[in-house]
Chain A
Amino acid sequence: MAKPPDCSHCQKPATIHLTQIINNQIKKLDFCENCPHQKGVTDPTGFSLAQLLAQNDLSASTGADGSLTCSACGFSPSDFKRLGRLGCPECYESLGDFISPMLEKMHRGTHHTGKCPDELLARIQITRRIEAIEKALREAIEEEAYEEAARLRDELKALQNTQVSGNVNYG
């Protein structure tokens, strides 16, 4: 698992995490447990936690409907209000702004701390390695370092072959 981020205020590990889109900017805020800065004090990004939560509730109940849909399966928050269930695993990412506040209310935490299968972790690591090589490859091509680019391309091909191919099967 990735190392948990530190609190935006202290150096302690953060246990409270907020992601919020305000004025089209994604803000991520992390607080340690019982953080003295959590209440009252304005955070470095200029919003108090209370303000954030208020806005969170607002975006979840009004604005989002209709406009927000999952890019993978076409599911929208109004479908959730009707069915009480999500459309596909991608919805968690696509409809994150709608789902995150719910998760905070439902659960004891916002981060998974349980079983993390080796297979999946290995796959995540391969994906990350591929992303890094793709970036290096683009740079190599820009710099006209063709030998380096060829080497990276081979490495990339090898990694892509080890990746388990997921069947994408949406309607």
Chain B
Amino acid sequence: MPRTFYANMQIQPLIDGRSELTHAAEPPQEVIISTRVRLARNLQGHAFPGWAKAAQRRAVLSECEETIAGLAQMQKGAVLEIENLSDLEKQVLVERHLISRELSAHGAGSGVVVSPDQSTSIMINEEDHLRIQVLRSGYHFNDIWNAIDAIDSSLESSLNYAFSENLGYLTACPTNVGTGLRASVMMHLPGLVLANQMEKVVRAVNQLGMVVRGLFGEGSDASGSLFQISNQQTLGESEQDIIRRLGIVIETIKEQEINARLRLIENEPEKLADKIGRAYGILQHGHVLSSSEAMNFLSLIRLAVDCGLLPVEQRAQVDRLFLECQPGHIQFAAKENIDSDGRDTARARMLRKETGDMPSLNFDKLAFS
């Protein structure tokens, strides 16, 4: 279907709305950016999306779409079918963590329903028939579990889930069978990155049956020192146990991160001050910025807030800019087709404007010896 560029963008309301990731209700904390839980669910008597014929996929899509749109939590939400979205719209949704890269690569018969505050999204015909996700800024496993459990239970009253007493929820990939649950926390770990300790952390986390990924999952780079930590195993442990065990890992990593920062402040305060000062200067005055550069500078600004060099109110802005400096978001905001160089210029312009009135850095807080 030919689509006039930027005409009738279906995702415009999502961009304009106040979302959980860009306008969180609570002020963001240090180290932990956001928490997310997803549940994989499938319908009894239907082939999994990757094995189903096109007609079967469409049948599942329309059945699920209707049921999901009827949920109280999804009232006034966006119901989007992947084949009706432009590449740019899909990219923006991926950058907002509302759909996966895998879903965006699917064609006919796949879709997503997003709640108005974008904290809940339900993908249809991704790897599984349903991928229910609840995401919140900050550290909120209990609230998220209660929310997603309620959504899952209401869906279950109308949809016939594939479930076995012995193996639990049956999923397309055996790695998700059982609870179908992946709990993950997005962490900001510049201290461990600067101290070259991330490799050690990744190895230790792996040994506990947990995984570390970059901002956009498998294979994505770690620009901005942002990492997702999540469980890998789903069978043989209850949802509460998985979340509790992950919580312990998160607490430990957070402690390590804070220790790494304290060591940096104690041993190399000038080096740290210089990095933060340069990031601040380039964000306010740069004219060409790639997205990974921008992410790394924003990351240093968030670190500066945590160290007391900037007021805590700046954190929310940094978290919003992490999202808005992504290529899809820059392209979307430009309202005309621009190339990669054009995006780097547009990104720098946006960041100059956003950071222009940022308070000055209070280097006294680094307590130079």
Chain A residues within 8 Å of B, Cβ to Cβ: 1-2, 73, 75, 79, 83-89, 92-93, 99, 102-103, 106-117, 119-120, 124, 164, 166-171
Contacts and interface: CB of A to CB of B under 8 A. Distances in A.
A103 to B, nearest CB: 6
A107 B48 contact: no
Contacts of A111: 166-167, 235-236
A102 B174 contact: yes
B178 interface: yes
Contacts of A171: 47, 52-53, 56
A108 B241 CA distance: 11
Contact of A107 (B44, B52, B56, B235): B235
B235 A115 contact: no
Given A103-B177, A117-B163, A88 B48 contact: yes
Interface stretch (B116-124, B152-160, B328-336): B152-160
B46 A167 contact: yes
A169 B160 CA distance: 13
B48 A87 contact: yes
A167 B235 contact: no
Contact of B237 (A83, A102, A108): A108
A106 B237 contact: no
B172 to A, nearest CB: 4
Contact of B174 (A1, A86, A117): A86
A108 B233 contact: yes
B51 A88 contact: yes
Nearest to A113: B238
A67 to B, nearest CB: 19
A168 B47 CA distance: 9
Interface in B4-62: 42, 44-48, 50-53, 56, 59
Given A85-B127, A89-B42, A109 B177 contact: no
18 contacts: A83-B50, A85-B173, A102-B174, A106-B174, A107-B235, A108-B233, A108-B236, A109-B235, A109-B237, A110-B236, A111-B166, A111-B167, A112-B167, A113-B237, A166-B44, A167-B160, A168-B45, A171-B53
Nearest to A73: B47
A114 B157 contact: no
Query: What class of interface size applies to chain B in its complex with A?
Result: 35 or more
A115 B56 CA distance: 28
Contacts of A114: 168, 178-179, 181, 237-239, 242
Contact of A115 (B164, B172, B239): B239
B50 A85 contact: yes
**Residue picked from A107, A120, A171, most chain B C-beta under 10 Å:** A107
B161 interface: yes
Nearest to A80: B174
Contacts of A124: 165
Given A73-B51, A83-B50, A107-B233, A92 B170 contact: yes
A112 B179 contact: yes
B209 interface: yes
A70 to B, nearest CB: 9
A36 B1 CA distance: 66
Contacts of A116: 163, 165, 168
Nearest to B56: A169
Contacts of A120: 156, 161, 163
B56 A109 contact: no
A119 to B, nearest CB: 5
A60 to B, nearest CB: 12
A113 B168 CA distance: 8
B267 interface: no
Contacts of B239: 114-115
B149 interface: yes
B230 interface: no
